[in-house]
A = this chain, B = another copy of it.
Amino acid sequence: MAAAAVANGDFSAGKSTPEAGRFSTVYSELQRSRIDHALPLPGVLTGNFTVVNGPNSSAAGSPDEIAKLFPGLYGQPSSIMVPRDSEGLSSNQKLKIGVVLSGGQAPGGHNVICGIFDYLQARAKGSVVYGFRGGPAGIMKGKYVELTWDFVHPYRNQGGFDMICSGRDKIETPEQFKQAEETALKLDLDGLVVIGGDDSNTNACLLAENFRSKNLKTRVIGCPKTIDGDLKCKEVPISFGFDTACKIYAEMIGNVMIDARSTGKYYHFVRLMGRAASHITLECALQTHPNISLIGEEVYAKKQTLKNVTDYMVDIICKRAGRGYNYGVILIPEGLIDFIPEVQKLIGELNEILAHEAVDEAGLWKIKLTSQSLELFEFLPPAIQEQLMLERDPHGNVQVAKIETEKMLIQMVETELEKRREQGVYKGDFKGQSHFFGYEGRCGLPTNFDSSYCYALGYAAGALLHAGRTGLISSVGNLDAPVKEWTVGGTALTSLMDVERRHGKFKPVIKKAMVELEGAPFKKFASMRDDWAINNRYISPGPIQFVGPTSNAVSHTLLLELGAQV
């Protein structure tokens, strides 16, 4: 009833065997209905247009160093698509374009590929698109598939990256750059689209510079992908996938909130993805109004200790108990403890000590810790102490990422509440319930927003390559307006860059966009959280809809950053 097999087309065209073994996929009724969902395009892309230059660009920081690292690309202008009466780009040109998905999944990646494919079908008939399999390794190893309409079509508006799969390899060493060149030459590539996060787009720019320096014709365009939302700038207002992932998490949080209120006896500690930045937590907070949300960037800016964070939570829990509320919902960003300087210090010391010392039962090894770190270590719940001591990576380092922060916080809150109970200031009941929402959000069916946004990003990437541009990131703007009013162009990747010193050398990096404490989303949150803490203002957004009410909603972070009222 609800499922039908969709054949994947013939892999032999790409002279490659299927990696993921996905010869045929069974689709749910909703997935199938989404294949035929018609995608609107920004107005400028529907008629004749041409690509014009904006002003020359600089760098996000250290322009002199960026100029040295990218002598061929530094300073190049951005590109803007503008309407024009006659054909702007020759439709007689046949292009050979490669596309690669890099890093973790984000809903909408397939639509970027569909956008590239459809652009070339519409505007440069006879062009060929190659999909590199399994991420950048596919470029280096020459593993690819030629994308045909039959092959691409079943993935329209579908979640996941399984059309060509992704990978986390990087093209870094001279040998790897050489391999990429060989593939580009062998396939006679006019262009390559790299769909990825900050690292992958930095890599895309290095590839673009390298191809240019070797006089290869292969141009490189990046596309902004990450559910974490930390790849953005003025010209790239949002990374794709953030909208869908946050809505999926917000659905779950909203459900848990209603459960909390109905049951009246649990504090739900919800850890959310987002190791480097807390955008997901902030967006989910704006969508759902939890009692407590910890924002890593704020914890860091205020130099808070783990004790401070615990006290902040416990103070609210005590106040709520005073009002008869022994329940609540607390959002925690995955990377919270990375933002706490004292924890970083403790972990550094532990790594040092554990590398050289045997750990004695009596705990004599602890005298090697500084007094501050010792105090923090003793403050940690025993289970976490044990985890820090026992679970180490192959280099012997403490595995911070393995710490289940939400469970750690539950234990710390419990301990502190017991103290307050003894002091007679807390008389409530506390039961913590932990959750981690992560994988559920990375591969959901893209929202209408992400579907349209990704399609426009891909279409723009095709046009930028058609216009011979390189070293740009596909940029679609004016996103709070209807799709037909969206602006389209490309932004110089070097303009997003700064350098970091690693092993004595300058390395170019696209700085991660952190939650700005002076930005509109955080300020809105900060102005409301005290009310949310004590009173119950829970909002349950419900499941993502593709038709009817809310089907065209846009994330609060994006709207607020664009100056809209939410």
Contacts and interface: CB of A to CB of B under 8 A. Distances in A.
A254 interface: yes
A536 B21 contact: yes
Contacts of A32: 549
B258 A443 contact: yes
B546 A545 contact: yes
Nearest to A161: B262
A553 interface: yes
Given A105-B262, A536-B21, A251 B162 contact: no
From DSSP, what is the main secondary structure of chain A's interface residues? loop
Contact of A262 (B33, B165, B257, B259): B165
Interface in A531-554: 536-550, 553
B539 A26 contact: yes
A527 to B, nearest CB: 15
A439 B546 contact: no
B160 A259 contact: yes
Contacts of A104: 263
Which of A105, A166, A559: most chain B Cβ within 10 A? A105
B259 A439 contact: yes
A255 B443 contact: yes
A325 interface: yes
Which of A256, A440, A542: most chain B Cβ within 10 A? A542
A435 interface: yes
Copies of this protein, total: 2
Interface residues of A, number: 73
Interface in A1-50: 1-3, 19-22, 25-34
B289 A542 contact: no
A104 to B, nearest CB: 8
Contacts of A2: 287, 539, 541, 550, 553, 566
11 contacts: A1-B565, A1-B566, A2-B566, A29-B541, A33-B548, A33-B549, A34-B542, A105-B263, A159-B255, A443-B540, A445-B542
Given A256-B440, A445-B540, 11 more contacts: A1-B565, A29-B553, A30-B550, A31-B539, A32-B549, A105-B259, A160-B261, A251-B444, A435-B439, A545-B545, A547-B548
